[in-house]
Each structure stands twice: as structure tokens, then as C-alpha cells.
Amino acid sequence: DDMTKLAYLHEPGVLHNLACRYGLNEIYTYTGNILIAVNPFQRLPHLYDVHMMEQYKGATFGELSPHLFAIADSCYRAMINEHGSQSILVSGESGAGKTETTKMLMRYLAFMGGRSGTEGRTVEQQVLESNPVLEAFGNAKTVKNNNSSRFGKFVEIQFDKYGKISGAAVRTYLLERSRVCQVSDPERNYHCFYMLCSAPPEDVKRFKVGNPRSFHYLNQTSCYEVANVDDAREYLETRNAMDIVGISQEEQDAIFRVVAAILHLGNINFSKGKEIDSSRLRDEKSINHLKIVAELLMCDEKLLEDSLCQRVIVTPDGNITKPLDPDSALQSRDALAKTVYSRLFDWIVDKINNSIGQDPDAISIIGVLDIYGFESFKVNSFEQLCINMTNEKLQQHFNQHVFKMEQEEYTRDEIDWSYVEFVDNQDVLDLIEKKPGGIIALLDEACMFPKSTHETFAQKMYQTYKSHKRFSKPKLARTAFTINHYAGDVTYQADYFLDKNKDYVVAEHQALLNSSSNNSKP
């Protein structure tokens, strides 16, 4: 159950050991003080009940079978004994079970640091109930995972001098904004859209939603349901979780008004206007959807239409209003949807944090990091590059933790050891993020030139990295490029890199949102 004890430590041996243990329903295995978890893809409640928590409470590390609770317990003990903060990093590829693992870790820490017999909503209860709320708005079905986190999360649990939970904070990173407007088979958009469409009849009527098949942002894919998930029940459970984390009924209604408004926004279409390069609402349906969006967002209808169909250019001689052609108006519509959704998500996170409350006098914290897993799909874009770069960083931390530090310790203690060869991935990180000269730096540079296209950006990469051993150009590719990551080769399509990297908030959209009379507006 500890792979450092294998007589011959090599990849086939490690895989064989994991497979044998998995066959015996042993999903956890140690490698020193690191826990490897293999996703069982089924619920195993007996592994995580209070009885199991009691067993691991205070047990010496390695004394009992490998388990998540052993890691959480040793982390808690180290915090108490050493009076210092701790972090648990949960990493793995997409669909490996990171989010569920994070939830179990938080449950154990709540069990250890909870205050027995306290009245009302406890901090630990609010921390645990923040999970379903964040999952409703930040998770979606992807190719490999029915409940994939499309954002990164760092949960800070704060403790007082008695080792009791005194506060908490949730920090989020890299929400996948593009999913709001672009989804491909067999994936879905964010869960909250489908929950709202399956809400009780009075809510469906109030928020003016209906069959998900009738909304452009949901019907780009043929997947509307997830196996073994009841969206109607999830809607009610999410509302209940919102109650517990301190989001009022009025605020909940405001949140779902925004969700509904985004769905209707996606159904607004444009045709050519009377003037050259101008646009107007295409038909009666689009006019109707625009009215509903204005009503739900509580903003002026004309202001909304103008913010979609034109841009105001500021010049030294005054402002010039420039009309947008139908394609640009569609891009403007999608940009507004992404801005509104990401603002909504940030507002929900802030609301949860304010409700739970942070403890400025906390003695120490335990942080749990649940970040996107390594991704390699049929089509990989800018989001995948950011996600995979983050995972390269985690891999480097792992390498330093396991190999470099151990080897330095042996040298310090003058212990004779044979050098263990490990793949150092600093060259991949330099390729992506080095300033100047990395891919991100080239992309930022390309975004500063109005005439740059994804093709000119790709050509610049081919030219710059033609001799880099981690970079290659697929045959016949015009915009694709391949990076040799620690977890294998990933081919990226550079087609939307420039747009996604620019992703700024348009001034007209900002003015529109500021004008909304929605009292509890996100």
C-alpha cells in the first residue's frame, strides 16, 4: 500500500500495483506522504462515514490503510503541533475525481474543527453548502466528466488557537467564460441553465424560460440531460444551499433573473441595417427576446439595443458612434453574455465569502486547492493552454517536492544514493510563459497590433519555435501547433486565441449594466 516499498520502482510496476489494488476495491495507495486516488466512478458511502472519520482521527500516518482522511488528519495535526498553515494540493487529469476528493477533505476538516452544539448555521456547514452553489454555476458536463469544474478553486479554512474553525474564504480562478456562448457535442453549458428550465412551473413562468431546446446557447449541442441527474431536484437543492450560505430569496431571484436574461440574449439575431455596415434586430422574435432581456435585467430597451448594435469611439474632437455589421453585433451580444455571466459568478463567490465571514485573528489556515485537471480534447483552444500550463506548474512543484528536495537532503546528510532520472519540465514552462519570448508574450504582442490575425500569430510561432524540442507544427497545419507536455502531446487550434486573450469589457456594456435598476444586481 506504499509504492516506495516496491522492490523495483518503475512505471509498469507502479501501474500494475495500482491495477491490482483497484481490483481489490482499494482505491487509495501511498507514495511516501503522497496519496494516489483512482476514481471508482461509483458512490462508496461506507468509506466516508463518521465511523471512518473516527478511525482516522489522531491515528499515526501509515498505521491504517491509505485514505483521504489520513492526509487530512496529518495536515490538521501538523497545523496544531507546528502552529503553521498547511496546504493540500488535489491534482489529476479531467474526470479523475478532484472535486469529490476536495469535498471529502473539507468534510473531514469540518468534522475535526467543528464546534459541537452550536446554534444556527455554523461556518463549517456554510463552507460545505457553498459547494453545490458553486457547482451549479461553475460546473458543466464535458466529454470525460458529467460534473466537470470549469473554474479553479482554493478554499482557505481558518482556525483559532483551539483548532476550531473560525472562518473561511473561497478564491476562484479562470472561469471558462466562452462556454456560455459556445458548446460542442456531447457537452452541456453550465448546470444552472438547465436547472432553471426544469424549475417548478411558477418559476419557469416568472423567469420566462422553457424548453432548453428553444435557446441558442443550449441547443448548439444535442445533449440536454445528464444520466442520473434530475435538474428539477438540483434546482430546489441549489436554492436550499443558497439559503444556508446566506443568499436571501430576493437575491436568489435576482440571480436567476440574470441566468434567464442570458438565455434570451442568445436568441437575439441581427440583419443588415439601412446604412452600410450597420445592423438591426432581425425579426419579431429577436425584438421580443430583447424586450424580455431588458425586463429581466431591469434596464432600458433602447440602451440595450444600442449597446449591441453600435460602438462609441472616443476621439480628441468628441465621441463618434460607429454602427456594427450583423457579425460584429453577434460578437457584441456574446461578449455581453460572457461579461454578465462572469460578473454573476464573481458576485456569488463574494456573497458566499461575506456570509461565511473571514477571521482576521485566525492563528493558521488549511488551504485546499482544486484546480482544473490536464485536458486534451479533439479541439483544444486558449482555455486548454491556460489549464495545461497550470498543471505543468503543479507538476513542477511535485517534481521539486518528491525528487529535487529528497536528493538535496541525501546530499546534505552525506548519504550515498544513485541519481534518479526525472523529467524536468522547466523548458515547457519557459516555452509557454517566459517573458519575453514565450507563447503568451507573443500572443500579448499580437493583440496589440490591429492587423494581427490568428494566421499571422501562428506563423510567428512556427518561425520562433521551429527548433524547440517541445514545440511542433502538424503537417498541413495553418494555425494548429503541438506542445509536448509532461502528460503527452496536445495539439492546439490558434483560431480564437487573439479574441479570447483580448476578452475585455466593452464600455457600452459597462454603462448598460450600471444603468440596471436591479437592487441586488450582481
Find, among 155, 148, 158, 149, the residue nearest to 369 by Cα. 155
Residues tagged active-site: 94-95, 99, 145, 148-149, 373, 375
Which residues make up each annotated binding site? 92-99
Distance CA 289, CA 302 (A): 13
Cβ-contact 482, 490 below 8 angstroms: yes
Cα–Cα distance measured from residue 196 to residue 190, given in angstroms and rounded to the nearest whole number:
11
The residue type of 169 is: A
C-beta of residue 333 within 8 angstroms of C-beta of residue 266 = yes
CA distance 250 to 253: 5
Cβ atoms 57, 163 nearer than 8 A: no
Grid cell listed for 281: 434586430
Give binding residues for ATP as ranges.
92-99
* Cβ-based neighbours of 394, under 8 Å, separated by 6 or more: 89, 91, 371
Tell me the β-bridge partners of 89: 369
Distance, CA of 327 to CA of 401 (rounded, Å): 50
Query: 54 phi and psi, to 5 degrees?
Result: -60, -40
- Which of 404, 415, 464 lies closest to 440 in space, CA to CA? 464
Query: Positive or negative CA dihedral for 419, 420, 421, 427?
Result: negative
